[in-house]
């Protein structure tokens, strides 16, 4: 009777449980009112009215939901069930506490070689960094302690030859069984639920090209002391290369299988896909580094780290949240996005003990399948790169954005341990403080470009890694090559060079230098702004504010309202695989005020605003609801950048490289009102403030010996009269005048001036810290490879004093 009741209840659940998609429509009535109707659309197209409004993020997204059928007085209706909890879609099998590991080196009966001594065998398994033990203990954050249970110090001989093992029905298990018996003969009884690692001196032919073999958690074994459960790893000797170049990766990888992990590569049918995960030890992409070891400096194959789906599975990682929001992701944590095919996880890999050896820092995405019968974690490609091995390029650096399960995922900021990731469309509040790259129009007035100096005060510049000299076997690791982060709209950017394999060798995958792109200046002055926010029509992503040429002002397409003076647009626009911030006003001064609003006011959680550039009132916002007075605590500026009013844009771009703070034209400078640090950018012919301190054809302030010679067309050292350079060089100087530091940065041409500002950013610390007047003349060039510029190179030509 009870049984029948249970069956009835179960069947009842099946009858009344529904699955489908949430759709809706709005009816707008003549009198201005409206009504919204929501339905559950079943797979057969049937529409069932919902009894109550569903969560907004489920409507029209194509996201499968579960619902229950409920009866009302009117009719049967559906009610969307609460989203499933994470634990129902990503499973956990926590591992903690001491793990007992037995380590034995074993020879086949017909192979006498002992390729490693026992110090080697011990240290790659139990030694300090890098070792199997150190990797898993650090990956677990101390949750597990790997304890050597028994180490046989010396090689033992298995009772069978390689061929004999291959003649058994299961060579792997036969080796394990023989080893259990062999250890028993030496008085060793292996504890149940312990781990057995066998280092072999050769590779039987029936193991094919295997480098390592590992059980997925435990097998049962009959022993003279009863049935025990063991997880077993076999490490095969397949090359003498590993004698001097220990392969910790393979041993750590097999132990990962012993803990229950499978391969987390990309979804695909080729032989590489299963292992294509650069960010996880359970992938199999080589990470080779020279490290100190017991045999001196050795060239190690290192485990790559452990990604969040695996950390969570083992109980060592957590999720700070799910779905739409701005999330700060740190070590061993991330966010997840539910989807019909399972769950997508988003995490940041950079600063972990073994992550430090990865070539890149990046935000990576995995899909965890909820309906697996084998592999269940898949590396998710976020960029449009196909090939055999694509996981090393499919990550998001700052400023990059991708669609994941119908949501925008954008990275706006990161350091060596944390990253700020926005799921959903980023707002102005999310974008402020981002790692940014600045762009101004090549033909813009200097005042437009000076606005970038203010904008820079609201952001932090992007300075991230690239990898221009990578080779599969000899990696140079992460490197910073004095990158630029301020450009003209028509300029070739520096690239971040990543590498992938299409199956026939490694290919460069150049990415425009990372960073949220802050595009300063209006659509007529800046072609990037024009592409994203063109006149007379909606901008990218439906941005409703644009310049209306007929009306001569900024129009709000939703209301038709136009502002013809003292107005500016500030907007966040994700487009393609990048996030942009647009800052532009009706005139140059409006643009500068808009950038100043960003620097001094608290931006709302809107995608875009139109502001009054006089009082900073928000005139319109997208979405609506943020109109009104801005909250502006103001700012105390410690630095100013001064640019010649008639200078070329490139000079002013250099100013944004040099400093964030007050952006001033040379004609606006009032010395007594200047902040403590004043960066004067541009040469004496373009910037009158620079000319005051460093006039042409003669030594400058305080005896500064470097000056521009109009007759010789280059920079001269006044101490010797020598012409130091006529191209690709610049002067940087720090002069102390009436309690202020006046920092000069100027070159022969505008690009030289920008290089001078980049030098100040990357190498100017010693110059700026000097308590007395000092200066340098530096030559520079672009670093490039395969036609891609990836950084700047500097050589000091002269110093003063």
Partner 1 sequence: MKFGFLVLAVVVALVVAAVLLVSAPRESPPPTQQPPQNNSPPTTQQTNTTPQQPIEVTWRGYISAVVFDFVNMTGGYTEWFLDFDNGTWVRLDFTNATFRLRDHFAIYVGNPDRPVYVRGVWNGTVLKALEIYD
Give whichever of 86 and 139 is closer to partner 1, judged by the CB atom: 86
Cβ neighbors of 277 (< 8 A, separation 6 or more) are 263, 264, 265, 266, 283, 285, 304, 307, 379, 391
Element (H, E) at 455: helix 446-458
Give whichever of 234 and 532 is closer to partner 1, judged by the CB atom: 234
Q: Which stretch binds partner 1 (CB under 8 A): 5-13, 395-403, 448-456, 781-789?
A: 5-13
HEC assignment per residue over 84-145: CCHHHCCCCCCCCEEEEEEEEEEECCCCCCCCCCHHHHHHHHHCCCCCHHHHHHHHCCCCEE
For tokens 């099998």, name the residue: 93
Site map 569..608 versus partner 1, x via CB under 8 A: ----------------------------------------
Q: Which of residues 292-331 bind partner 1 (CB under 8 A)?
A: 313
Give whichever of 104 and 641 is closer to partner 1, judged by the CB atom: 104
Q: How far, in Å, CA of 483 to CA of 469, rounded? A: 16
Asked whether position 284 contacts partner 1 by CB under 8 A, the answer is: yes
User: Cβ atoms within 10 A of the Cβ of 783, count?
Assistant: 17
Asked whether position 93 contacts partner 1 by CB under 8 A, the answer is: yes
Q: How far is the CB of 621 from partner 1 (least distance, A)?
A: 44
Cβ neighbors of 403 (< 8 A, separation 6 or more) are 409
Asked whether position 376 contacts partner 1 by CB under 8 A, the answer is: yes
Give whichever of 215 and 649 is closer to partner 1, judged by the CB atom: 215
Q: Which stretch binds partner 1 (CB under 8 A): 58-66, 109-117, 166-174, 700-708?
A: 166-174
Q: How far, in Å, CA of 269 to CA of 256, rounded? A: 23
Instruction: Name which of 419, 447, 442 is nearest 349 in CA terms.
Output: 419
Upstream peptide bond of 801 is cis (omega within 30 degrees of 0):
yes
For residue 144, what are its two tokens? 């597990």
Asked whether position 56 contacts partner 1 by CB under 8 A, the answer is: no
Q: Which stretch binds partner 1 (CB under 8 A): 115-123, 124-132, 273-281, 546-554?
A: 273-281
Give whichever of 313 and 677 is closer to partner 1, judged by the CB atom: 313
Q: How far is the CB of 210 from partner 1 (least distance, A)?
A: 5
Q: Bridge-partner residues for 132, per DSSP?
A: none
Q: How far, in Å, CA of 739 to CA of 610, rounded? A: 40
Phi, psi of 104, rounded to the nearest 5 degrees: -135, 135
Query: What angle, 0 to 180 degrees and rounded to 10, lies between the N-to-C axes of helices 588-600 and 446-458?
Result: 10
For residue 193, what are its two tokens? 């639920």
Q: How far is the CB of 72 from partner 1 (least distance, A)?
A: 11
Asked whether position 339 contacts partner 1 by CB under 8 A, the answer is: no
Q: Which of residues 195-254 bind partner 1 (CB under 8 A)?
A: 207-223, 227, 229, 231-232, 238-239, 250, 253-254
Q: How far is the CB of 3 from partner 1 (least distance, A)?
A: 7
User: Cβ atoms within 10 A of the Cβ of 624, count?
Assistant: 12
Q: Which of residues 747-786 bind partner 1 (CB under 8 A)?
A: none
Q: How far is the CB of 69 from partner 1 (least distance, A)?
A: 11
Applying CB under 8 A, among 306, 389, 758, 778 the residue interacting with partner 1 is 389
Q: How far is the CB of 18 from partner 1 (least distance, A)?
A: 15
Q: How far is the CB of 578 from partner 1 (least distance, A)?
A: 31
Give whichever of 373 and 711 is closer to partner 1, judged by the CB atom: 373
Asked whether position 276 contacts partner 1 by CB under 8 A, the answer is: yes
Which pairs from 271-276 meet CB under 8 Å and 24+ separation? 272/388, 272/389, 272/501, 272/503, 273/388, 274/375, 276/379, 276/388, 276/389, 276/390, 276/391
Q: How far, in Å, CA of 447 to CA of 253, rounded? A: 58
Applying CB under 8 A, among 281, 285, 463, 572 the residue interacting with partner 1 is 285
Query: What angle, 0 to 180 degrees and rounded to 10, lies between the N-to-C axes of helices 649-658 and 446-458?
Result: 20
Q: Which of residues 167-186 bind partner 1 (CB under 8 A)?
A: 168-170, 172-173
Give whichever of 195 and 616 is closer to partner 1, judged by the CB atom: 195
User: Cβ atoms within 10 A of the Cβ of 371, count?
Assistant: 8
Asked whether position 481 contacts partner 1 by CB under 8 A, the answer is: no
Asked whether position 63 contacts partner 1 by CB under 8 A, the answer is: no
Cα angle at 761 between 756 and 767, to 5 degrees? Answer: 80
Applying CB under 8 A, among 2, 15, 29, 296 the residue interacting with partner 1 is 15
Q: How far is the CB of 314 from partner 1 (least distance, A)?
A: 11
Dmax of the chain from CA atoms?
109
Asked whether position 471 contacts partner 1 by CB under 8 A, the answer is: no
By CB under 8 A, how many residues form the interface with partner 1?
A: 60
Q: How far is the CB of 620 from partner 1 (least distance, A)?
A: 49
Asked whether position 162 contacts partner 1 by CB under 8 A, the answer is: no
Q: How far is the CB of 388 from partner 1 (least distance, A)?
A: 9
Cβ neighbors of 419 (< 8 A, separation 6 or more) are 328, 329, 348, 350, 363, 398, 411, 413
Q: How far is the CB of 511 from partner 1 (least distance, A)?
A: 24
For residue 471, what are its two tokens? 């080779």
Residues at the interface with partner 1 (CB under 8 A) = 3-4, 7-8, 11-12, 15, 90-91, 93, 168-170, 172-173, 207-223, 227, 229, 231-232, 238-239, 250, 253-254, 257, 260, 262-263, 271-272, 274-276, 284-286, 313, 370, 372-374, 376, 389
């Amino acid at each position: 009777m009870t049984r029948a009741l249970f069956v009835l209840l179960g069947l009842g659940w099946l009858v009344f449980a529904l699955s489908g998609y949430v759709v809706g429509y709005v009816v707008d009535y003549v009198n201005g009112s409206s009504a919204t109707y929501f339905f559950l659309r079943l797979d057969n197209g049937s529409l069932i009215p919902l009894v109550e409004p569903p969560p907004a993020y489920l409507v029209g997204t194509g996201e499968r939901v579960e619902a229950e059928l409920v009866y009302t007085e009117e009719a049967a209706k559906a009610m969307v069930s609460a989203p499933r909890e994470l634990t129902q879609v990503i499973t956990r099998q926590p591992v903690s506490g001491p793990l007992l590991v037995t380590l034995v080196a074993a020879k086949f009966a017909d192979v006498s070689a002992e390729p490693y001594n026992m110090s080697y065998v011990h240290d790659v398994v139990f030694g300090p960094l890098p070792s199997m033990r150190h990797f898993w203990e650090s990956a677990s954050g101390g949750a597990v302690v790997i304890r050597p249970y028994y180490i046989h110090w010396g090689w033992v001989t298995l009772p069978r030859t390689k061929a004999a093992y291959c003649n058994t029905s299961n060579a792997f298990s036969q080796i394990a069984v023989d080893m259990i018996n062999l250890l028993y003969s030496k008085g060793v009884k292996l504890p149940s639920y312990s781990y057995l690692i066998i280092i072999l001196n050769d590779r039987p032919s029936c193991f094919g090209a295997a480098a390592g073999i590992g059980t997925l958690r435990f097998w049962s074994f009959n022993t003279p002391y009863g049935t025990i459960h063991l997880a077993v790893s076999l490490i095969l000797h397949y090359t003498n290369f590993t004698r001097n170049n220990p392969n910790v990766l393979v041993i750590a990888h097999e132990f990962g299988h012993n803990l229950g992990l499978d391969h987390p590569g990309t979804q695909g049918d080729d032989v590489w896909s299963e292992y294509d995960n650069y960010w996880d030890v359970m992938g199999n992409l080589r990470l080779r580094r020279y490290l100190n070891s017991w045999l001196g400096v050795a060239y190690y194959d290192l485990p790559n780290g452990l990604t969040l789906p695996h950390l969570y599975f083992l109980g060592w990682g957590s999720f700070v949240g799910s779905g739409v929001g701005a999330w700060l992701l740190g070590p061993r944590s991330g966010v997840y996005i539910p989807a019909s095919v399972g769950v997508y996880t988003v995490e940041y890999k950079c600063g972990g003990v073994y992550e430090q050896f990865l070539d890149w820092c990046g935000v990576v995405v995995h899909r965890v399948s909820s309906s697996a019968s084998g592999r269940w974690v898949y590396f998710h490609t976020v960029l449009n790169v196909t090939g055999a091995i694509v996981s090393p390029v499919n990550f998001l650096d700052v400023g990059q954005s991708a669609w994941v399960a119908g949501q925008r995922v954008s990275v706006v900021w990161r350091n060596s341990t944390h990253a700020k990731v926005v799921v959903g469309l980023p707002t102005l509040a999310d974008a402020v403080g981002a790692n940014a790259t600045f762009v101004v129009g090549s033909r813009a007035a200097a005042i437009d470009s000076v606005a970038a100096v203010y904008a820079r005060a609201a952001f932090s510049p992007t300075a991230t890694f690239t990898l221009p000299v990578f080779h599969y076997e000899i990696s140079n690791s992460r490197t910073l090559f004095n990158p630029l982060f301020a450009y003209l709209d028509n300029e070739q950017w520096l690239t971040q060079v990543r590498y992938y394999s299409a199956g026939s060798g490694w290919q460069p995958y150049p990415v425009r230098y990372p960073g949220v792109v802050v595009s300063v200046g209006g659509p007529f002055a800046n072609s990037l702004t024009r592409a994203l926010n063109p006149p007379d029509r909606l901008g990218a992503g439906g941005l409703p504010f644009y310049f209306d040429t007929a009306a001569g002002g900024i129009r709000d397409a939703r209301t038709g309202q136009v502002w013809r003076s003292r107005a500016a647009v500030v907007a966040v626009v994700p487009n393609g695989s990048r996030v942009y911030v647009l800052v532009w006003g009706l005139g140059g001064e409006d643009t500068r005020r808009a950038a100043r609003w960003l620097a001094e006011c608290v931006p709302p959680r809107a995608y875009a605003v139109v502001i009054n550039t006089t009082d900073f009132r928000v005139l319109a916002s997208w979405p609506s609801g943020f109109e009104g007075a801005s909250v502006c605590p103001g700012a105390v500026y410690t630095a100013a950048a001064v640019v010649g009013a008639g200078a070329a844009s490139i000079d002013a771009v250099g100013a944004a490289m040099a400093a964030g703070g007050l952006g001033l034209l040379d004609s606006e400078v009032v010395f007594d009102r200047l902040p403590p640090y004043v960066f004067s950018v541009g040469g004496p012919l373009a910037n009158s403030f620079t000319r005051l301190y460093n006039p042409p054809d003669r030594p400058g302030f305080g005896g500064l010996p470097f000056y521009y010679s109009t007759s010789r067309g280059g920079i001269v050292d006044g101490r010797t009269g020598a012409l130091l350079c006529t191209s690709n060089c610049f002067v940087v100087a720090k002069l102390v005048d009436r309690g202020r530091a006046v920092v000069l940065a100027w070159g022969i041409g505008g690009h030289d001036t920008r290089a001078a500002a980049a030098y100040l950013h990357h190498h100017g610390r010693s110059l700026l810290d000097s308590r007395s007047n000092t200066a340098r003349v530096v030559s520079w060039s672009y670093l490039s490879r395969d036609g891609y510029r990836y950084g700047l190179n500097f050589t000091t030509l002269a110093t003063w004093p």
